[in-house]
Chain A
Amino acid sequence: MGKKIVIDPVTRIEGHARITLQTDDQGVVQQAYFHVTQLRGFETFCAGRPFYEMPNLMARICGICPVSHLLASAKACDALLAIRVPPVAVQLRRILNLAQVVQSHALSFFYLASPDLLLGMDADPAERNILGVAGAHPELARSGIRLRQFGQQIIELLGGKRIHPGWVVPGGVSEPLSGEKRERMLAMIPEALGTAQSTLVWFKQNLEKYREEIRTFANFPSLFLGLVTAEGQAEYYDGQLRITDAQGAIVADQLDPARYAEFIEEAVEPFTFLKFPYYKPLGYPGGMYRVGPLARLNIAERCGTPLAEQEWVEFREIERGAVLSSFHYHYARLIEILHAIESILRILEDPEILSPHVRANAALNNAEGVGVAEAPRGTLLHHYKVNEQGLITWANLVIATGHNNLAMNRGILQVARQYVRGEKLTEGMLNRVEAVIRTFDPCLSCSTHAAGAMPLVVRLVGPDGALRDEVRRD
Chain B
Amino acid sequence: MNPAAEVKTLVIDEMDVSARADQTILEAARDAGAWIPTLCHLDGVGDIGACRMCLVEVKGSNRLLPACVTRVEEGMAVTTHSERLVKYRRMILELLFAERNHVCAVCVANGACELQTLAQLHGLDHVQFPYRFPALPVDGSHERFSMDHNRCVLCTRCVRVCGEVEGAHTWDLMGRGVHSRVITDLSQPWGTSETCTSCGKCVQVCPTGALFEKNKVGTKLPKSRDFLMHLSVMRGGDR
A164 CA / B107 CA spacing, docked (Å): 13
Q: Find out whether the CB atom of B141 lies under 8 angstroms from the CB atom of A361.
A: no
A169 CA / B108 CA spacing, docked (Å): 12
Q: Are A57 and B106 CB-contacts (below 8 A) given A52-B217, A167-B218, A174-B218?
A: yes
- Interface presence of A325 (CB below 8 A): no
Instruction: Pick from B105, B138, B146, B217: contact of A48, CB below 8 A.
Output: B138
- Interface presence of A238 (CB below 8 A): no
Q: Which residue numbers of A lie inside 8 Å of B, CB to CB?
A: 48-50, 52-53, 55-57, 60, 164, 166-171, 174-175, 361, 363, 389-391
Q: Which of B106, B143, B220 has the largest count of A CB atoms less than 10 A from its CB?
A: B106
Q: Find out whether the CB atom of B108 lies under 8 angstroms from the CB atom of A53.
A: yes
Using an 8 Å CB-CB cutoff, how does the interface string of B73-108 with A read, 1 for contact, 0 for none?
Answer: 000000000000000000000000000000001101
Chain B residues with Cβ below 8 Å from A389 are 138-141, 189, 191
Q: Which residue numbers of B lie inside 8 Å of A, CB to CB?
A: 105-106, 108, 137-141, 143, 146, 148, 189, 191, 214-215, 217-220
A308 CA / B184 CA spacing, docked (Å): 59
A29 CA / B209 CA spacing, docked (Å): 56
- A160 nearest CB neighbor, chain B only: B220
A48 CA / B135 CA spacing, docked (Å): 10
- B190 nearest CB neighbor, chain A only: A389
A168 CA / B189 CA spacing, docked (Å): 30
Q: Find out whether the CB atom of B218 lies under 8 angstroms from the CB atom of A50.
A: no
Q: How many contacts A-B (CB < 8 Å)? A: 51
Q: Are A169 and B217 CB-contacts (below 8 A) given A50-B138, A389-B139, A389-B141?
A: yes
A48 CA / B215 CA spacing, docked (Å): 18
Quote the shortest CB–CB distance from A47 to chain B (angstroms). 11
Quote the shortest CB–CB distance from A388 to chain B (angstroms). 8
- A52 nearest CB neighbor, chain B only: B217
Q: Find out whether the CB atom of B138 lies under 8 angstroms from the CB atom of A391.
A: yes
A175 CA / B216 CA spacing, docked (Å): 12
- A59 nearest CB neighbor, chain B only: B106
Chain A: interface secondary structure? loop
Quote the shortest CB–CB distance from A172 to chain B (angstroms). 10
Chain B residues with Cβ below 8 Å from A167 are 218
- A81 nearest CB neighbor, chain B only: B215
Quote the shortest CB–CB distance from B146 to chain A (angstroms). 6
A56 CA / B217 CA spacing, docked (Å): 9
Q: Find out whether the CB atom of B143 lies under 8 angstroms from the CB atom of A363.
A: yes
Quote the shortest CB–CB distance from B102 to chain A (angstroms). 14
Chain A residues with Cβ below 8 Å from B146 are 50
A363 CA / B214 CA spacing, docked (Å): 9
A-B contact list, 20 entries, CB within 8 Å: A50-B148, A50-B217, A52-B215, A52-B217, A52-B218, A53-B106, A53-B108, A56-B106, A166-B218, A169-B217, A169-B218, A169-B219, A174-B220, A175-B219, A175-B220, A363-B214, A389-B139, A389-B191, A391-B138, A391-B140
Chain B residues with Cβ below 8 Å from A48 are 137-138
Q: Which of B146, B215, B219 has the largest count of A CB atoms less than 10 A from its CB?
A: B215
Q: Find out whether the CB atom of A53 lies under 8 angstroms from the CB atom of B105.
A: no
Chain A residues with Cβ below 8 Å from B218 are 52, 55-56, 166-169, 174
Q: Are A60 and B217 CB-contacts (below 8 A) given A50-B140, A50-B146, A390-B140?
A: no
Q: Find out whether the CB atom of A174 lies under 8 angstroms from the CB atom of B138.
A: no
- B141 nearest CB neighbor, chain A only: A389
- A174 nearest CB neighbor, chain B only: B218
Q: Are A52 and B214 CB-contacts (below 8 A) given A390-B140, A391-B140?
A: yes
Chain B residues with Cβ below 8 Å from A169 are 217-219
A171 CA / B214 CA spacing, docked (Å): 12
Quote the shortest CB–CB distance from A26 to chain B (angstroms). 53
Beyond contacts A169-B219, A389-B139, A389-B140: 6 other A-B pairs, Cβ-Cβ < 8 A, are A53-B106, A56-B218, A60-B105, A167-B218, A169-B217, A391-B138
Chain B residues with Cβ below 8 Å from A164 are 105
- B148 nearest CB neighbor, chain A only: A50
Quote the shortest CB–CB distance from B43 to chain A (angstroms). 29
Chain B residues with Cβ below 8 Å from A170 are 217
Q: Which of A164, A168, A391 has the largest count of B CB atoms less than 10 A from its CB?
A: A391
Chain B residues with Cβ below 8 Å from A168 are 218
Q: Find out whether the CB atom of A53 lies under 8 angstroms from the CB atom of B141.
A: no
